[in-house]
Amino acid sequence: MLDFLHPQSLIPAGARPVITRFAPAPTGYLHLGHVLNAFYVWSIARASGRDARVLLRIEDHDRARSRPEFEAALLEDLNWLGFTADGEVTRQSERGALYERALDSLRKRGLTYACECSRSEIGAGPYPGTCRSKNLQEAAGRGVRVRLDPSTERFDDLRLGPQEQRPVEQSGDVLVRDRDGNWTYQFAVVVDDWLQGVNLVIRGEDLLDSTGRQIQLARLLRRHPPPRFFHHELLMKSATQKLSKSDGDTGVRDLRAKGWTADAVIQRAVSSAISRLQLRK
């Protein structure tokens, strides 16, 4: 189905067999945006060789927003759609000890520091490094950050081509654990991809901006080489508005209830996206 993308040529020889993942957050129900992502993940994996693996990871690092009933629904809908993962389902909520160990390896090399800034103090921009040289002790009510280096990250996105990003300017020092003790998405994902051997990350292009930061975090954790990335187009409600859970007619559950078949749901997701695809020659 994805012949036009020539997945074999997309995957560099060093990255075989392909290990990729589908990683939903159980903070809502599956919608067409997830279906499009799942379609890419499974299609590229299957087309890249019989030994490719798709891991299913439940990204429930946000303990306040994750709910077991959403996880159960996600698993059930994926199964109904026919997307079958390889191996056991993993949950970020069960991997705290691994994140702690990864944090410790950074801490021992002096790459982390405690941060007492609140979200409102930092605002929307990059973290300005307020606590970088305060030498605060880690404590309850304080976050932990990683010192980024000022390097420019260069990578070749498998769909979008060569990219250049400067994480230190985009985000500033990355938060690893927040003031409430939650592991952050950025850190958990990098540690998980590393420990699970994920060598190809297939995700929506709304996450392109965080790629350089994740590559740098992987390097600081001494993962070499970092995973490769394929960022696909997003399903849009209009030219400028992302599709969201609150839009009607996009939830897999709703479409199922209206009598749609799994194939029809997948086709709806893919055809809306492909009409926007700009193919690279």
In the complex, least distance from residue 117 CB atom to Zn ion, rounded to whole angstroms: 3
Q: Nearer to Zn ion by C-beta: 15 or 122?
A: 122
Q: Nearer to Zn ion by C-beta: 11 or 175?
A: 175
Q: Nearer to Zn ion by C-beta: 99 or 113?
A: 113
Q: For residue 24, say if its preceding peptide bond is cis, omega within 30 degrees of 0.
A: no
Q: For residue 44, state whether it binds Zn ion (rule: CB under 5 A).
A: no
The first and second tokens of residue 110, run together, are 């002096």
In the complex, least distance from residue 134 CB atom to Zn ion, rounded to whole angstroms: 8
In the complex, least distance from residue 116 CB atom to Zn ion, rounded to whole angstroms: 6
Cβ(174)–Cβ(143) below 8 Å: no
Q: Nearer to Zn ion by C-beta: 122 or 262?
A: 122
Q: What is the C-alpha separation between 3 and 6, in angstroms, rounded?
A: 5
Contacting Zn ion within 63-82 (CB under 5 A): none
Bridging pattern class, strands 112-115 and 153-157:
unpaired
Contacting Zn ion within 107-146 (CB under 5 A): 115, 117, 130-131
Q: For residue 2, state whether it binds Zn ion (rule: CB under 5 A).
A: no
Identify the H or E element spanning 55.
strand 53-58
Q: Nearer to Zn ion by C-beta: 22 or 187?
A: 187
Cβ(57)–Cβ(215) below 8 Å: no
Q: How many CB atoms lie within 10 A of CB 54?
A: 22
**In Å, what is the CA distance from 122 to each residue of 19, 65, 181, 185, 194?**
37, 22, 18, 18, 29
In the complex, least distance from residue 170 CB atom to Zn ion, rounded to whole angstroms: 17
In the complex, least distance from residue 130 CB atom to Zn ion, rounded to whole angstroms: 4
Binding residues for Zn ion, total number by CB under 5 A? 4
In the complex, least distance from residue 48 CB atom to Zn ion, rounded to whole angstroms: 42
Cβ(59)–Cβ(89) below 8 Å: no
State the residues that interact with Zn ion by CB under 5 A: 115, 117, 130-131
